[in-house]
Structure 1
Amino acid sequence: MSYFGRKLRLSRLLYPEQSAGLIVPIDHGLTVGPIKGIESTQAIQSWVSNANISAIIAHKGMIEKLILADAIPSSTGVMVHLNGMNSLFEDADTKQLVTDLAYAVQLGADAVSIQVNFTESNAAHNTRLLGAVADKAHALGIPLLSMVYDKANAQGIEAVDRMRSFIRMGVELGSDALKIGFPEKDEYLPDLLSASDDGTPIFFAGGEKGDENILLHKAQSAMEYGAKGLCIGRGVFQSDNKDFLLSRLAKVLRNTPCASQPSMSVVDEQEPVSYAG
C-alpha cells in the first residue's frame, strides 16, 4: 500500500499539469550559513511563494518558520532534508542524519531528501544511509529524493561512468527520485540518464551561481534527453531577478519537447526593464 502513497506524494512535487518539476532547495544554511538569498526567514518569504516553484527542500527548522509565517502556498510541495553537516568541519562530506521520517511526517512533508557526497573514505556510510532511509520512507509511504554527488577529481568519460554507478546505487537501494549535477558536456547526458529508469526521475542541480543563460541552455538540453526537472538553489535564490529567472526555467520545463524534435529556446529572452517615474 505504501507505493500508492509515494506515487501520490511524488506528484505533489511536480507541476500539476505534467510530470516535470522545478524544485528549489534552501537547505544551504546548515552547510554554509546565512548566504545571500536565504539570509533570514524574511528574505526567503519575499520570493518562495512564486507560482513557478513546484516544491521546496529545507531543513526542519526552516520549514517550521515558513509554516508559521504562512509563506508556503498550498500548491507548493514540501520536502524535509534529513541529513547535513556544516562545511567548517573536516568531515563535511560525510553528512549525518539530523531528523527522522516521523518528524518530517508530523511537519506535513510530501517527501524527504538526503544528500550523499562520495569521497574515498565514506562509501560504506553512504550506502548504509541510503538503504536505511529508503526502507523507513517506504514503510511510511513517503517518497525519497537522493542527492548524489561524486567528490573525486574524475573527468570526462571516467566521471560519467562513476556517476552512472552512483545513480544505479540510488535506484537499487530504493530512491524514488535522484538529484545529480550537470555533466561536463551535453553529449554525456544520454549515457548518464540511461543509468536510471523511467520509474526513477532525475532532477539536475544548478551548482554555484553562474551565468543564467548557460544554466538555461543546460536545463533545456537535460530536459530534451529525458530529465524530469530541475533542483536549483543558489542559481535561483541568488539571482538578481528571481521572478524572471523562475519564469524562464519553468518555460523550459513546460515547453521542451522530446529529444527528436527541435526545441524553442528561451535563452534569448530579455529581462524586463523597469522605468522610474
Structure 2
Amino acid sequence: MTRHTPTDAGRAARLDRLSTDGKILMVPMDHGITLGAVQGLADIESTIDAVTRGGADAVLTQKGIAPRVHPNKNGAGYVVHLNASTSIGPDADDKRVTGTVKEAVQAGADAVSLHLNVGNQHEPKQIEQLAEVTKDAREYGVPVLAMTYARGEGVDSTDPEALGHAVRLGEELGADLVKTGYSGDAESFEHVVESTDLPVLIAGGSKGTNRQTVEMVRGAMDAGASGVSMGRSIFQHEDPEQIAAAVSAVIHDDASVDDALMAGGFEG
C-alpha cells in the first residue's frame, strides 16, 4: 500500500522532521500531567537528551514543557500534545483540551497530537476535538498525530478489528499519522495497518523487559507499521539511551531482536 503524503509543502516538511526515511521513533513524555513528576520526567532535560542521542526521531510533551525540550533534543522533531487528564481525577479517559495549534506553533512544535478513545463514553466529544484540531492544523501547515485507542466498556483494546476501526477514524477526521495499541502479534496487526492509508505507530503500553519491548517493535514493523510512539518503556528505563538505541535499530536498521538488543548494549 502506498502511504499518504501531504501535498502542501509546509506539512510535508514538518513531517520529515519527525522521521528518518519515513520511519519514526517518537518518545512521548506528556505523562507529567497525567502521573506527576515520575521517574524519567522530574529531570526531563536529561531524559530528552538521552533518548534523542539513542536514536529517537521526535519527542512529545505538553506545551508548557517546551522551554525544557528545545535545548536538549539534539535536533530531533518536537510534537505538542493538545489534550489530557490526570490519574487522580474523576475519569482518566475524559481527555480535555489543553492547548491550540497556534500555541503549539508558538512553542516551536513540528506537529500536534490528540488522544481519542474509540468506543468510550467520551468518544463523541473527542471526535469533535480531533475534527477541530485537524481543521486548525491545515491553516498552519502542521501535521496531526491522532492517538486513537480502542478503549471502552466491552471493547477489547487488542482486537485488530477494533484497532483497525480506531486508526481509520483518525484518517477519516483528517490526521496525518495515527497511533494505536498493539494487537499482540504481527499477523493480526497487519489488519490494523491495512485499515488506513496513513503511517501507523504503536503505543508502548506498560513497561516490559528489554526483550519484550524489542519483540513488540519487531512484530509491529513486520506487520507494516511505520514506527512507534513509546513512552514509559523508554523514558522510565534505567538507561533511556540504550533502550532507545535498541528500538531504533529495529525501526531504522531492520535489525533482528537479538541484534537490536546488542545494538543497545544488552545481553540477548
C-alpha separation between the residues in 1 aligned to 2:189 and 2:175? Answer: 20
Distance change >3 Å, CA 98–CA 2, structure 1 → 2: farther
1:71 positional shift: 1.5
C-alpha separation between the residues in 1 aligned to 2:49 and 2:142? Answer: 29
Matches within 5 A, 1:138-157: 138-152=138-152, 153-155=154-156
Task: Read off the aligned partner of 1:210 and give its amino acid letter.
Answer: G
Matches within 5 A, 1:168-179: 168-179=168-179
C-alpha separation between the residues in 2 aligned to 1:45 and 1:22? Answer: 13
Distance change >3 Å, CA 48–CA 184, structure 1 → 2: closer
Task: Read off the aligned partner of 2:200 and give its amino acid letter.
Answer: I
Distance change >3 Å, CA 226–CA 49, structure 1 → 2: closer
Of 24, 44, 59, which residue of structure 2 is paired with 1:21?
Answer: 24
Contact kept, 8 Å, 1:202 with 1:229, in 2: the verdict is yes
Of 204, 207, 217, which residue of structure 2 is paired with 1:206?
Answer: 204
Q: Bigger radius of gyration, 1 or 2?
A: 1
Task: Read off the aligned partner of 1:71 and give its amino acid letter.
Answer: N
Are 1:64 and 2:84 matched, yes or no? no
Unaligned runs of 5+ in 2: 1-5
Distance change >3 Å, CA 42–CA 104, structure 1 → 2: closer
Scaled by the length of structure 2, the TM-score of the pair is 0.89
1:185 positional shift: 3.2
C-alpha separation between the residues in 2 aligned to 1:268 and 1:87? Answer: 33
Which secondary structure does the structure 2 equivalent of 1:114 belong to? Answer: strand
Between the two proteins, the alignment pairs up a number of residues equal to 260
Counterpart in 2 of 1:32?
A: 35
Distance change >3 Å, CA 25–CA 264, structure 1 → 2: closer
Distance change >3 Å, CA 140–CA 235, structure 1 → 2: same
The structure 1 segments of at least 4 consecutive aligned residues displaced by more than 4 Å after TM superposition are 270-273
Counterpart in 2 of 1:260?
A: none
Deviations 1:118-167 (A, max 9, x none): 3541121021111111111111100000111122343498x221221121
Matches within 5 A, 1:37-186: 37-44=40-47, 47-67=50-70, 70-73=71-74, 75-152=75-152, 153-155=154-156, 159-186=159-186
Distance change >3 Å, CA 169–CA 248, structure 1 → 2: same
Counterpart in 1 of 2:10?
A: 5
C-alpha separation between the residues in 1 aligned to 2:69 and 2:264? Answer: 29
C-alpha separation between the residues in 1 aligned to 2:187 and 2:48? Answer: 38
Contact kept, 8 Å, 1:203 with 1:230, in 2: the verdict is yes
Contact kept, 8 Å, 1:3 with 1:138, in 2: the verdict is no
Which secondary structure does the structure 2 equivalent of 1:79 belong to? Answer: strand
Scaled by the length of structure 1, the TM-score of the pair is 0.86
Which secondary structure does the structure 2 equivalent of 1:135 belong to? Answer: helix
Sequence identity percentage: 28
Distance change >3 Å, CA 213–CA 124, structure 1 → 2: same
Deviations 1:37-83 (A, max 9, x none): 1123455355244150110000111112333xx2222x200111111
1:243 positional shift: 2.0
Of 217, 225, 228, which residue of structure 1 is paired with 2:226?
Answer: 228
C-alpha separation between the residues in 2 aligned to 1:222 and 1:253? Answer: 10
Counterpart in 1 of 2:3?
A: none
Unaligned runs of 5+ in 1: 258-262
Contact kept, 8 Å, 2:246 with 2:261, in 1: the verdict is no
Counterpart in 1 of 2:235?
A: 237
Which secondary structure does the structure 1 equivalent of 2:244 belong to? Answer: helix
C-alpha separation between the residues in 2 aligned to 1:179 and 1:141? Answer: 20
